[in-house]
Structure 1
Amino acid sequence: MSRLDDELAFAHELADLADARTRAAFGGRQDAEEKADGTWVTAVDLDVERRLRAAIRAHFPDHAVLGEEDGLDGPPGAPTWVLDPIDGTTNFVKGNPVFATLIGLRIDAEEVLGVVSAPALGSRWAGVVGEGADHNGTPVHVSDVARLAEAEVAFGGLAYFAERGHGELVADLAGRTARQRGYGDFWQHCLVASGSTDVAIEAEVNLWDLVAVKALVEAAGGRFTSLAGERTAAGGDALSSNGHLHDEVLAIVATHRTTAR
């Protein structure tokens, strides 16, 4: 029995609640507004987050909630549910099926549980750190690729790398790896957890983008850090991998950080 059985079952209930709303709205006209950070928000984002918050308050009244749209509330130091109601809102608005609801749980500032539900892809990933991960109920594990020259690397938005002075890093990693893809957002980290991609890297992300996927990747046997090598979802950037390749990629990143200065 998992130490987080109740929380995991409840996270799936939250995902069901979110999927019902996003699946019904997907493909229709969305009234989207641009936020101060340049990302988009729709009425569906807001509605999903508020529904999930209400469900959490009813089920775990002593827990806290941090969401992309409505911030943090709840007692300090409490277990904290971290929500991104629609990761990939731009995709959602444009009719691209690569969007998901991210549901993560942090206890004592550690990411311990993650559920990522992508209804338009027919996919749901779930994991508890130290206890394994699954995709649609089938166990998954990171790949065993141990040579960067044989690896597939996935990049988040390329403009963010350029803005942060990491444009040459993208070219360098592309030259050192067998395949390069731009899955973006949650999906690339889920593919790392599933063993379909070996490395995923992002230059600019927020805590709510990462808590669920960090827990998932670690539950699947991988590693997840900031680009500075810190084991955190709060670093503002991210690197996930199968573990075998992680230190080598961090060393390459460090070289380009030094050069950028």
Structure 2
Amino acid sequence: MNDQTWDAALKAARDAAEAAAEVIRHYWRCGVDVEIKSDATPVTIADREAEQAIRAILAPALPGAAIYGEEFGLDGSCDGLLWLVDPLDGTKSFVRRTPFFSTQIALMHRGELVLGVSSAPVYGETMWASVGGGTWFNGARVRVAPTSDMAQASMSTGNVKTLTADVRWQVLGGLIRDSNRIRGYGDFCHYHLLAQGGLDLVIESDVNILDIAALAVIVREAGGVFTDLEGQPLTLETRSVLAGTPAIHAQALRRLALC
């Protein structure tokens, strides 16, 4: 793969995110009926039409790449180039008229995440990044904060339900006590804030790789560290997140590793 191919792939991902945004904004204004999937999560016509719009742009952009989407599953093989698509991450928020939802598009090459686009259409925010190309927020380059002292750190949590029954719950409590302040922005929002210097640590459980793949590239290219709660790199099976500035991530990981 040459640089021109990667540039074309990033452009396609950004174009696909904008196409999805048009669909999502339309149904945000008009309202939608809600269905419940077999896993007890909601889905709407906005989810499905947004993914169709994304696939229509991504498929011809990289003809040899597989596409794994939230609503229509896997088309192709996971071994080489693989698009990871969540057309409407945060459907529960969408149907309750809470604007914490986004479109997530990432590209994985032989198991490594190489680019990501995160679009929050109601907020008017789009972030994108590619390996070696930095992180961009609405056209301006951004970086994580230089925070290195936990006492000065701002942290955010999301989807921590499973941690309440885990020994790491006590560690999370300690991190909260020792930090400067705690928020629970959730979804795309706290990763966008982390990548542009507004937060220093994000902890989540109960996630899916489609939710976080693009955001991982965005945080890393902004100078941050993005792993699971054990400090392991992301895979298709990843279910948790520890993301932060390098120093704060390292401190949090050392404390979690004692569990």
The TM-score, its normalising length taken from structure 1, stands at: 0.92
Instruction: Give CA-to-partner distance per residue, 1:192-246, whole Å, 9 cap, x none.
Output: 1111110111011111011100011111111100111112154210111111211
8 Å CA contact retained: 1:164, 1:203: no
Which 5+ residue runs of structure 2 have no aligned equivalent?
A: none
What secondary structure sits across from 2:146 in the alignment?
Answer: coil
SS of residue in 2 equivalent to 1:6: helix
2:182 maps to what in 1? 180
SS at 2:231 equivalent = coil
* 1:165 CA displacement: 5.0
Given that 1:201 and 1:239 are in contact with CA atoms closer than 8 Å, whether structure 2 keeps it comes out as yes
1:94 to 1:27, Cα distance in 2 relative to 1, 3 A: farther
Q: C-alpha deviations, 1:48-104, integer Å up to 9, x for none?
A: 112212322233221100111222111452211100111111111111112110010
Residue aligning to 1:26: 28
Q: Secondary structure at the match of 1:26?
A: helix
Distance 1:38 1:100 in 2: 20
- Residue type of the partner of 1:240? A
The secondary structure found in structure 2 opposite 1:134 is strand
Query: Contact 1:62–1:75 at 8 Å: present in 2 too?
Result: no
| Correspondences of 1:155-194 after superposition (within 5 Å) | 155-194=157-196
Q: Is contact 2:13–2:58 with CA below 8 Å preserved after alignment?
A: no
Inter-CA distance 229–76: structure 2 relative to 1 (3 Å threshold): closer
The within-5 A match list for 1:35-46 is 35-46=37-48
CA contact under 8 A between 2:83 and 2:108: conserved in structure 1? Answer: yes
Give ranges in structure 1 of 5+ residues lacking alignment: none
- Give the secondary structure class of the aligned counterpart of 2:247: coil
Instruction: Give the RMSD, CA atoms, in angstroms.
Output: 1.7
Q: Distance in 2 between matches of 1:117 and 1:163?
A: 33
On the 8 A contact 2:148/2:247 being kept in 1, the answer is yes
> Counterparts in 2 of 1:91-110, with a 5 A limit?
91-110=93-112
2:239 to 214, 226, 236: 236
TM-score between the two structures when normalised by the length of structure 2: 0.93
Paired with 2:85 and 2:78, the residues of 1 have a C-alpha distance of 17
Contact (CA 8 Å) 2:151, 2:178: kept in 1 or not? yes
**Identical counterparts, % of pairs:** 34
Report the equivalent of 2:252. Answer: 249
Q: Is the 8 A contact 1:127 1:215 kept in 2?
A: yes
Residue in 2 aligned with 1:52? 54
Count of aligned positions: 256
**Contact residue 159 and residue 207 of structure 2 kept, 8 A:** no
Alpha-carbon distance change, 163 to 86 in structure 1, aligned in 2, over 3 angstroms: farther
